[in-house]
């Protein structure tokens, strides 16, 4: 095992402050960095010696022997479950990274419904109220090609359900709903069986379109409430918890286990084929390169390595460390060469940022001459990340295609959701624009259908019905 690099900023909020020094011996679970504001404790994920502390990371040389035992979280006798979650340093492990101990510090029994915007909720009466609080478990695993969340349901369903019940207890939510895609038949079956003895927990099946895992999409699918871009799920008396996060909560409470490992899917242009390699409990701080080697190693020349999913991930390097929020590592095939052609980019709230899409255009040797944005992708304040008004429901894209045509683009690179990609394909090719989706190189590599025409338009979201 190579050196472990543990970043001081792996969460929403401020970077943590190191509480160890170079030369210190550490164990699995030794507290090595503490929050300086909003944040979460950071622990060593290995036995070893701290060799360096830089501005943004702590570097640990692992010992030869790595016993399974860990240092339990330091909480007083009788500590509350919420205090245990806080002490364990758990953050939203689906990629968001919001400190879970803060998120769960809400009493949903006493939380009032937020004011619903009638424009986006035309079918709900003005005085609509939900009957109780809900924990919504985000098991959508919406980024194509990732499989670790679904694998966890298949292998550790009991632990996940324990975590969900703890979330319900901490927030006083009377009910919980698993949001999962219908295509994951094995996991759905296992979950359905397990939930027969859990009357307060149900399952909601979703179609295989992108994005279904966005928080407000989960609320809409499970509860029928459309939130504005400014509203949090609490406005629908709910808290959305990622599936792996629920399992880490169970570990913190049942075993006093700190958050030191991450489940990761590795796939792409690898020796042995493009199938998914799911690694459970990878020590945080492990390098991307080491994990790729465990998956077989890179097969020849490649385009880029994506950390995260193909839609929202970023390009990374072999020596980058796995963090508490890393979900996927995808090694892609080479990019096509556009030979300096004029390119337009169409930015979406649920895909890559403009910066990421410009990076992809540059890697394709394209000359960006036009930038448009899906009209539903808005900034709540200048410079803030884009949010979609109605995730996954296309507002029409013809005006953008016309703009690209006016700007004399030959190619367009789009980052749209399934529904909007389908709409783009209704106009752009007719105007002579050649379309690439920002995920194409990743989808081709893993053998997944490209995001173009929506082939699942007949699929509807539904409650479980066996
Ligand atoms: S409607 Fe637009 S902003 Fe929203 S998810 Fe689709 S492409 Fe993205």
Average pLDDT over residues 277-282: 98
- At 382 the pLDDT is 87
Ligand 1 centroid to residue 334 C-alpha, Å: 27
Predicted confidence (pLDDT) per residue in 283-298, tens digit: 999 999 999 999 999 9
Q: Is residue 463 part of a domain?
A: no
| DSSP 3-state of 440 | helix
Q: Are residues 234 and 85 part of one domain? A: yes
Q: Which atom of ligand 1 is nearest to the CA of 386?
A: 3
Whether 264 shows a pLDDT value over 80: the answer reads yes
Q: Are residues 161 and 35 part of one domain? A: no
Ligand 1 centroid to residue 120 C-alpha, Å: 15
Q: Is residue 74 part of a domain?
A: no
Average pLDDT over residues 144-157: 97
Q: Residue 456 — very low, low, confident or very high, per pLDDT cuts 50/70/90?
A: low
Q: Whose CA is nearest to atom 8 of ligand 1?
A: 348
Q: Which atom of ligand 1 is nearest to the CA of 377?
A: 3
Average pLDDT over residues 429-435: 94
Q: Are strands 201-206 and 175-181 parallel, antiparallel or unpaired?
A: parallel
Mutate to test the pocket of ligand 1, among 210, 215, 353, 420 (most ligand atoms within 8 A of CB): 420
Average pLDDT over residues 347-359: 94
Predicted confidence (pLDDT) per residue in 68-101, tens digit: 999 999 999 999 999 999 999 999 999 889 999 9
Please say whether the beta carbons of 255 and 295 come within 8 A. no
Q: Are residues 381 and 436 part of one domain? A: yes
The answer to pTM > 0.85 is: yes
- At 187 the pLDDT is 97
Q: Are residues 139 and 34 part of one domain? A: no
Q: Which atom of ligand 1 is nearest to the CA of 351?
A: 8
Mutate to test the pocket of ligand 1, among 212, 391, 422, 438 (most ligand atoms within 8 A of CB): 391
Q: Is residue 420 part of a domain?
A: yes
CA distances from 7 to 60, 133, 289, 458 (A): 11, 35, 16, 44
CATH at 326 = 3.10.20.600
Structural domain including 43 reads: 4-62
CATH at 346 = 3.40.50.10700
Q: Are residues 125 and 270 part of one domain? A: no
Give the whole-angstrom CA distance, residue 218 versus residue 410.
Answer: 37
- At 392 the pLDDT is 83
Q: Which residues line ligand 1 (CB under 6 A)?
A: 211, 348-350, 374, 376-377, 388, 391-392, 394-395, 416-417, 419-420
Q: Are residues 435 and 395 part of one domain? A: yes
Q: Are residues 107 and 46 part of one domain? A: no
Q: Is residue 216 part of a domain?
A: yes
Whether 462 shows a pLDDT value over 80: the answer reads no
CATH at 240 = 3.40.50.11540
Please say which residue of 312, 331, 350 terminates a domain.
331
Q: Is residue 462 part of a domain?
A: no
CATH at 25 = 2.40.50
Q: Are residues 224 and 96 part of one domain? A: yes
Average pLDDT over residues 366-391: 92
Q: Is residue 457 part of a domain?
A: no
Percentage of the chain modeled with pLDDT above 90: 92
Predicted confidence (pLDDT) per residue in 47-58, tens digit: 999 999 999 999
Whether 458 shows a pLDDT value over 50: the answer reads no
Q: Are residues 245 and 265 part of one domain? A: no
Ligand 1 centroid to residue 294 C-alpha, Å: 36
CA distances from 390 to 278, 442, 453 (A): 32, 26, 19
Give the H/E segment covering residue 359: helix 354-363
Whether 432 shows a pLDDT value over 70: the answer reads yes
Q: Which atom of ligand 1 is nearest to the CA of 395?
A: 1
Whether 463 shows a pLDDT value over 50: the answer reads no
Q: Which residues contact 299 (CB under 8 A, 6 or more apart)?
A: 269, 270, 271, 272
How many distinct structural domains can be found in the chain? 4
Q: Are residues 351 and 226 part of one domain? A: no
Whether 464 shows a pLDDT value over 50: the answer reads no
Whether 16 shows a pLDDT value over 70: the answer reads yes
- At 166 the pLDDT is 98
Please say which residue of 301, 331, 361 terminates a domain.
331
Q: Are residues 367 and 316 part of one domain? A: no
Please say which residue of 62, 91, 108 terminates a domain.
62
Mutate to test the pocket of ligand 1, among 228, 350, 353, 423 (most ligand atoms within 8 A of CB): 350
Q: Is residue 337 part of a domain?
A: no
- Going by the DSSP 8-state scheme, the letter that residue 236 receives in this structure is G
Q: Residue 465 — very low, low, confident or very high, per pLDDT cuts 50/70/90?
A: very low
Q: Are residues 348 and 325 part of one domain? A: no
Average pLDDT over residues 344-355: 94
Q: Is 256 left (phi over 0), alpha (psi -120 to 50) or beta?
A: left
Is the bond preceding residue 211 a cis peptide, omega within 30 degrees? Answer: yes
Taking 3-state DSSP, the helix, strand and coil percentages for the chain, each rounded to the nearest 5, stand at: 25, 25, 50
- At 87 the pLDDT is 98
Q: Is residue 67 part of a domain?
A: no
Q: Which of 100-109, 237-246, 372-381 has the lowest mean pLDDT?
A: 372-381
Ligand 1 centroid to residue 418 C-alpha, Å: 9
Report DSSP letters for 138-184, one per residue.
Answer: EE---STT--HHHHHHHHHHHHHHHHHHHHHHHHT-SEEEEEEETT-
Ligand 1 centroid to residue 232 C-alpha, Å: 18
- At 94 the pLDDT is 93
Residue 146 in tokens: 């990732």
Report DSSP letters for 360-383, one per residue.
Answer: HHHHTT-EEEEEEE-TTEEESSTT
């Amino acid at each position: 095992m190579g050196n472990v690099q543990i970043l001081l900023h792996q969460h929403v909020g401020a970077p943590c402050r190191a509480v160890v020094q170079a030369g210190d011996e550490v164990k699995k679970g030794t507290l090595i960095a503490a929050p300086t504001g909003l944040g979460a404790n950071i622990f060593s994920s290995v036995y070893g010696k701290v060799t360096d502390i830089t501005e943004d990371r702590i570097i640990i040389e692992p010992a030869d022997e790595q016993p399974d035992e860990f240092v339990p979280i330091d909480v007083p006798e009788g500590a509350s479950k919420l205090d245990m979650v806080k002490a364990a340093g758990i953050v939203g492990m689906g990629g968001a990274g919001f400190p879970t101990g803060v998120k769960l510090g809400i009493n949903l029994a006493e939380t009032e419904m937020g004011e619903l915007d009638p424009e986006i909720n035309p079918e709900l009466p003005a005085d609509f109220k939900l009957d109780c609080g809900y924990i919504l478990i985000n098991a959508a695993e919406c980024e194509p090609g990732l499989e670790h969340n679904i694998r966890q349901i298949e292998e550790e369903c009991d632990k996940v359900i324990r975590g969900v019940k703890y979330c319900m207890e901490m927030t006083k939510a009377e009910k919980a709903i698993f949001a999962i895609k219908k295509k994951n038949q094995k996991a759905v079956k296992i979950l359905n069986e397990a939930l027969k003895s859990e009357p307060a927990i149900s399952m909601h099946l979703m179609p295989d379109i992108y994005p279904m895992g966005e928080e407000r999409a989960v609320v809409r699918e499970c509860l029928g409430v459309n939130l504005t871009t400014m509203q949090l799920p609490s406005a629908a008396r709910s808290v959305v918890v990622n599936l792996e996060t629920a399992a880490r909560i169970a570990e913190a409470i049942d075993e006093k286990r700190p958050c030191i490992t991450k489940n990761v899917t590795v796939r792409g242009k690898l020796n042995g084929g493009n199938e998914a390699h799911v690694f459970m409990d990878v020590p945080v701080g492990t390098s991307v390169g080491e994990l790729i080697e465990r998956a077989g190693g890179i097969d020849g020349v490649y385009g880029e390595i994506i950390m995260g999913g193909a839609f929202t991930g970023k390009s990374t390097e072999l020596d980058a460390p796995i963090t508490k929020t890393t979900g996927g590592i995808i090694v892609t095939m080479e990019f096509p060469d556009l030979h300096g052609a004029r390119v337009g980019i169409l930015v979406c709230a649920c895909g890559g940022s403009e910066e990421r899409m410009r990076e992809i255009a540059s890697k394709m040797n394209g000359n960006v001459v036009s930038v448009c944005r899906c009209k539903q992708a808005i900034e709540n304040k200048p410079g803030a990340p884009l949010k979609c008004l109605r995730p996954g429901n296309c507002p029409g894209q013809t005006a953008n295609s016309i703009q690209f045509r006016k700007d004399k683009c030959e190619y367009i690179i789009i980052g749209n959701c399934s529904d909007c990609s389908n709409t783009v394909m209704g106009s752009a090719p007719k105007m002579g624009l050649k379309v690439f989706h920002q995920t194409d190189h990743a989808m081709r590599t893993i053998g997944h259908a490209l995001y173009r025409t929506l082939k699942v338009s007949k699929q509807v979201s539904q409650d479980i019905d066996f």
